Structure 1
Amino acid sequence: MTRGSDRADLVIVGGGTAGIIAAKTAGGLGARVVLVERDRTGGDCLWTGCVPSKSLIAAARAAQSMRTAGRFGITPVEPQVDFAAVMAHVRGAIERIEPVDSPAALTDAGAEVIAGTAVFTGPDELQVDGRSLRFRHALIATGSAPALPPVPGLAEAEPLTSDTVWDLVELPARLAVLGGGPIGCELGQAFARLGAEVTIIEATDRLVPREEPRAAIVLSAALSADGVRVLTSTTVTKAAEQAEEVRLDLTGRAGTSVLDVDRLLVATGRRPRTDGLGLETAGVHVNEHGYVAVDAKLRTSNRRIYAAGDVTGAPAFTHVAGMHGSIAATNALLAPVRRIDHDTIPWVTFTDPEIAHVGLTEDQARQRHGDAVRVRLLRHEHVDRAIVEDDTDGFTQVVLDAKGRVLGATIVAPRAGEMIAELTGLVARRGRLRDLASMIHPYPAWSDGVWNAAIAESSDALQTPAKRRLTGALLRLRRAR
C-alpha cells in the first residue's frame, strides 16, 4: 500500500508467528495488508524460543548418547563439549530458517512491511514513527516477554531469561533454573547434559504442574538421572550478586538454605507486550493480567481490531499463535465465523523423554464429567519399540468419557510429540479411542502405545454381558453348520 492509497484492509502490529501467518493469509486473499515490526520479523520462536532451544537440545542429546552407550554394548565416553561450537550450531539453525520469516518473504506474500513502533491514535488509525496509517481492521500480535518474579535482589543479579540465555559465550559451571515448567526443564536438562551443574527450583510440589502427576514423576526421575538437582516446594526469597557468583536464599520443605551458582536462569512466566501501544485510545480492553481481552473469534472490544497469539493470554505456543493469526485474518477480512477451541490444542515439553498432551487431564475431566470418566493407561514396558531401545519408563494415557470418547491424552516417550496428533484429532471431533483399533499402525513404532491402548479399549468393549451373549450365539451358530 502506497502513501497515497486508501486505508489498509488489515494492519498487523507485530512480526512474530501470529503476525506472519496473518500477513501471509491476508496476502493470499488479495487484501491490502501492512505489517509493522519494531525489531526483527520471526518473533520469539525463531530468535529466542523454539528454534534455538531445540537446536541446543539436539546437541545435548548427542552428548548424552555418548555417555549412555554402554547399555547397548558400546564403550561409553565422556564427550568433549565445545560450547562455542554448540552455540554456533544454534545460530546456524536460526540462519537457515530465518528466510521463511523475513521481510522479503512477507513482501513476496503480498504484505507491505514497515520497520518502526506502532501506536494507536484512534479506533481506526495508528502511527508508525510519525507516519499515519488508517485501517479497516487491525491485528495486535505483539507477543509476550519473560517476566521476573518479585524476589528482592533478583533484577540486580542480572539473571538470564529465555531471551538472553542465547548470548552466553561460556558454559556456566553452576546454573540455577528458577521455574520447573517446560522452559525451565528443557533448558535445565540441556545445560546439564552439556556439562553444567544444574539445580531446578520449583515453587509447587512437582515439576510441570499442569501435566498429569505421573508425567512429572517420570520427568523428575529422568532429570535426576542426568545429574539435575530438583528442588520442589521451594522458593527463592532473596538473590544477591557477590564477587563472580549469585547467592540465592531458599525456603523449602527442610527449612532455609543457601545456594551459590555462577548464573541464574529465570523461567517462571511471561507478560504481554502491550506497553505504549495506545490500547485505551483505540478502545481495546485488557484483562486483569494485562492481556488483550478477546472472544472466541479473537475480536477485541473494538470490533475493528483483533488480537492473536501470546498477547491474548492464550497458551504460549507457536502453533497456537499461527492458528490465531489465520483465524484472525480470515475473520477480519471475510466474515467473523471461525472460532478457536483452546481445549483441543496439543503441546509438547521437549525434554527427554518428551511429554505430549492434548485436551483434559484426568482431574479436569472428572471435574467436568464426574465419575463416569475412565482412564486407559498403557505403560511402555509393554511397547516393543521401547523395549528394543531400552527406554521403557514412559506411558500412554487416554482419558475417556462414559461412551469411550477421548477427552484428553498424555504421552511420555522419546517421540511423544510425533505421536500426539492422531489423539488430537479424536479430541477435536469427540471420537472414540477404539476407532483407532482398526487402523493398521506400523510395527515396531512408538505409536504402538496408542494403537495398543485402542486395541485394549476395543477388546474390553466386547466383554459386556450382552456382547458376550451375542458372540456366544454366533459361535454356536457357526459350529452348527
Structure 2
Amino acid sequence: MTRIKADLCIIGAGSAGLSIAAGAAQMGANVVLIEGHKMGGDCLNYGCIPSKALIASAKHAHSGIDNPAYGVAEVRPQVDYSAAKDHVHRVIDAIAPVDSQDRFEALGCTVIRDHARFISETEVQAGDTIIAARRFVVATGSRPFVPPIDGLDDVIVHTNETIFDLRDKPDHLLVIGGGPIGMEMAQAHRRLGCKVTVIEGAKAMGKDDPELAAIVLDKLRAEGVEIVEDAQASRVSGSDGAITVYTPKGEFTGSHLLVAVGRAANVDGLGLEIGNVAHDRKGLKVDASLRSTTNKRVYAAGDVAGGLQFTHVAGYHGGQLVRSLMFALPAKARTDHLPWATYTDPELAHVGLTEAQARKKHGQKLTVVRSEYAHNDRANTELRTTGLIKVMVVGGKPVGASIVGHLAAELIGMWAMAIANRLKMTAISNTVLPYPTYMELNKRAAGAYFSPKLFESDMVKRIVGLVQRWIP
C-alpha cells in the first residue's frame, strides 16, 4: 500500500474536477486527481460534445429540405447513420487531449486511474494508494436515472451513455422523457431518418417558459416527431427490435428505446458515511461556498453539489473553488446568473428568473419586454423569423431573460453577463452593434423597455415642446 500527501485531492476528472485541478496545479499546489472511469467525464464522452456533434450531423441532413425558399433545388439527403456516429467520435477524439491524463500530469498533477472512497475524514483510498489531503473536492458528476418501470430490465434500454455507440439506425426510436436531452435526441434522430415518438409523463419541456416551449414543440411536431404528453410509462415489454411502452394514452411500439428522464448524482461507493460527508440522492449537502456541512475538509463541485446539472455550472464551481482553496478568499456560488440552453432547432435558452418566477417574486414591480425575431433584419434575410426574446426587468435591471429562436444559446450570453454584473438596461441599449446581426434582438428588447418612457410620456412631450420653442 502506497501513502501520499497532497494539498488538494480531487475525486472525478469531469468538467469541475479538471477545472480545479488545472488551476490549482498551475498555481503551485500539490494536487492529486482521481478518476475511476474516463477522463473528461460525462460532458466529453456521453453528454454535451457527442450530442451537439450528432445534432450538427442532423442539421446538415435537414438543411436541403428548405432549399426552395432560398431559390435552390430541394435535396433529400442519403443519411449514413453509422458515418454520423463516426463524426461524433472524431469530435470526441479531437477534444480528448485537452482532458487527458498526459496533459494533467504535465501540469503537475498526480493522476490516479481508479475508483476512490473515503476511509476516514482525512483520507481517501484509490486502488493501492492512500491519499491524505488538507482538502478534498468531490466532483463525481451524475449518471442517467433509469426509473423502476415494470419490464424495463427485460429489454435493451439506451441512455445518453450508450446511444452514441449505436451504429445501426433505429427504424422507430421511442424516447421516454420530454426534457432537454429527450427532445434534442428526438429531433436529431428524426432528421437522420428515424421515426420518433416521445413519451412524457407530464408536459414536454415542462421546466421551460410554456410560451417559448410551445414554439419548439410545434416545430418538432411539424418535422414529424410524435410527442405524447401526460402519458406516464407504466410498463415495458418486447425484445430487441420490437419494444412496447404502455401508458394511459395507449401503447407505443418501436425498434429502440431511449430513456431520458433525468440524472442521479454519483455518490455510491464513495464511502461518504465513513468520511462524515452528509449527502442524499441529489448529492453532497453543502453550504453556499460549496463546503460540506459536516466535514469542513470536503467540498463538492458540479452535478454532485446538488444544484443545476450543466457543464458550464461545473466550470463555474471550479472557478469559485480555486479562488477559495488557493487564496482562502470568500467565494459563494450564486445561481441567479446561471444560463442554460436546449439545442433543438429552434434553440431555447434561459438565464435568471422566468416570467412566471419573476411575477411571483416581484409582482407589480416587474416589467416584461419582448423582441420578436420577425422584426430583425438578419433573421429575415435567412428566413429565421420564428422566435422571440422576453426580458424580465425590475428597477431598470434585468432579472431574467428567455429566448427561443435561431442562436438563442449565443444570444443569452449578453443577458447572462448583464445579470452576473448587475448591469442596467442602459448597458444594453447603449451598446452599438454591427448591422445586420441577430444580436440586435437583444438591443431591441432593451429599447422596448425605454420606449414607453420616451414616446408615451406626456412629461417628455412637454419638455421637448419647450426646448423646441426656446432653443434657436
**1:38, 1:389 → 2: CA distance?**
47
1:159-194 Cα offsets, whole Å, 9 max, x none, are 100111012011101001111111001111000000
Q: What SS is found at the alignment partner of 1:239?
A: strand
**2:247, 2:76 → 1: CA distance?**
32
Alignment correspondent of 1:16: 14
| Aligned residue type for 1:294 | V
Q: What SS is found at the alignment partner of 2:299?
A: strand
Which deviates more, 370-379 or 114-123?
370-379
**1:167, 1:143 → 2: CA distance?**
21
Q: What SS is found at the alignment partner of 1:122?
A: coil
| Aligned residue type for 1:203 | G
Alignment correspondent of 1:269: 262
| Aligned residue type for 2:233 | V
| 2:107 counterpart of 1:106 | no
Q: Give 1:381's match in structure 2, choosing from 374, 387, 405.
A: 374
TM-score normalized with structure 2 length: 0.97
Alignment correspondent of 1:213: 210
Alignment correspondent of 1:438: 430
Contact conserved, 2:163 with 2:258, CA < 8 A, in 1?
A: yes
Distance 1:447 1:243, change over 3 A: closer
Q: Give 2:316's match in structure 1, choosing from 311, 316, 323.
A: 323
**What is the Cα deviation at residue 343 of structure 1?**
1.4
**What is the Cα deviation at residue 198 of structure 1?**
0.4
Q: What SS is found at the alignment partner of 2:279?
A: coil
Same amino acid, percent of matched pairs: 38
| Aligned residue type for 1:414 | H
**What is the Cα deviation at residue 4 of structure 1?**
7.0
Q: What SS is found at the alignment partner of 1:321?
A: helix
Contact conserved, 1:436 with 1:451, CA < 8 A, in 2?
A: yes
1:310-366 Cα offsets, whole Å, 9 max, x none, are 011221111111111222233123215111111110111111011111000011011
Aligned residue pairs: how many? 470
Alignment correspondent of 2:23: 25
**1:381, 1:265 → 2: CA distance?**
36
**1:318, 1:476 → 2: CA distance?**
59
**1:241, 1:329 → 2: CA distance?**
50
Contact conserved, 1:10 with 1:333, CA < 8 A, in 2?
A: no
Which deviates more, 57-66 or 435-444?
435-444
| 2:147 counterpart of 1:169 | no
Q: What SS is found at the alignment partner of 1:409?
A: strand
**What is the Cα deviation at residue 436 of structure 1?**
1.4
**1:442, 1:294 → 2: CA distance?**
44
Contact conserved, 1:25 with 1:330, CA < 8 A, in 2?
A: no
**2:70, 2:56 → 1: CA distance?**
20
**1:156, 1:119 → 2: CA distance?**
32
Alignment correspondent of 2:46: 48
Distance 1:109 1:467, change over 3 A: farther
Distance 1:251 1:4, change over 3 A: closer
Structure 1: 4+ residue segments shifted above 4 A: none
Alignment correspondent of 1:63: 61
TM-score normalized with structure 1 length: 0.95
Structure 2 residue runs of 5 or longer lacking an equivalent are none
Alignment correspondent of 2:350: 357
**2:150, 2:364 → 1: CA distance?**
45
Which deviates more, 148-157 or 44-53?
148-157
**1:208, 1:158 → 2: CA distance?**
25
Q: What SS is found at the alignment partner of 2:233?
A: strand
Q: What SS is found at the alignment partner of 1:328?
A: helix
| Aligned residue type for 2:236 | A
- Aligned residue runs from structure 1 range 412-427, under 5 A: 412-427=404-419
Q: Considering only aligned residues, what root-mean-square deviation do their CA atoms show, in Å?
A: 1.5
Structure 1 residue runs of 5 or longer lacking an equivalent are none
Contact conserved, 2:340 with 2:351, CA < 8 A, in 1?
A: yes
1:103-162 Cα offsets, whole Å, 9 max, x none, are 111112221101111110111111111321100000000000001112111232221001
**1:237, 1:259 → 2: CA distance?**
12
| Aligned residue type for 1:297 | S
Contact conserved, 1:377 with 1:397, CA < 8 A, in 2?
A: yes
Contact conserved, 1:307 with 1:328, CA < 8 A, in 2?
A: no
Q: What SS is found at the alignment partner of 2:283?
A: coil
**2:202, 2:329 → 1: CA distance?**
40
- Aligned residue runs from structure 1 range 53-452, under 5 A: 53-205=51-203, 207-242=204-239, 244-252=241-249, 257-287=250-280, 289-301=281-293, 302-401=295-394, 403-452=395-444
